[in-house]
A and B are shown apart, each in its own frame.
Chain A
């Protein structure tokens, strides 16, 4: 979601991208939405005859949070590599 922060994404697409099953993905999306990190909206179907879809995008706060988490993960990975190299 961080990579495509400006585009709305659907649940099934997110599931395919992350490899998360719907049983794991939706509780996560619900938690993120409750915490104001995710925004959602119903979007008109791309193909006629299909129902509207719920689409998701990180909010500004969500985006900042995701970037902070990514930065923290990167720095811990770098620290790990450095520690590995010195031992």
Chain B
């Protein structure tokens, strides 16, 4: 290896650093272990291949991460997105009622379409959330799922009761 780092070696170093950051904190020792090996690989190409593998390993570990707290699960996009979408749908209905009042139209307007898109659009996210997190953190997932269902029901309530 030359004194000046080659482009390949620099890319390898960047990748290994990224792999280290991508690992869950509890696995940081393994991140160090993988990155230290790079200094013992003479060939720059092999070093690059090694570092690509390190990134794969880090993301594999991240995928196996089991969140322990409710907050950790709640921070996942698939947990808060459905709730945010329900909240947006609920707000749209309220704003529409505030501006136009309770209007019963046979032809669905833009508000109704946006509401439908928000409610239907959260279904795949919700399914993903259940499939991904229920086996890993059942209690936290069920609790968040209850909030998600509550938010969806809240968004549906004005439409149902006011027969919009």
Contacts and interface: CB of A to CB of B under 8 A. Distances in A.
Interface residues on B, range: 20 to 34
Contact of A23 (B29, B32, B36, B54): B54
A60 interface: no
Contact of B53 (A10, A25, A30, A50): A25
Main secondary structure of the interface of A (DSSP, over half): helix
Interface string A18-44: 000111111101100000000010000
A51 B39 contact: yes
A50 B42 CA distance: 12
B40 A12 contact: yes
A23 B60 contact: yes
A50 to B, nearest CB: 5
B33 A21 contact: no
Interface in B6-59: 27, 29-30, 32-34, 36-37, 39-41, 49-57
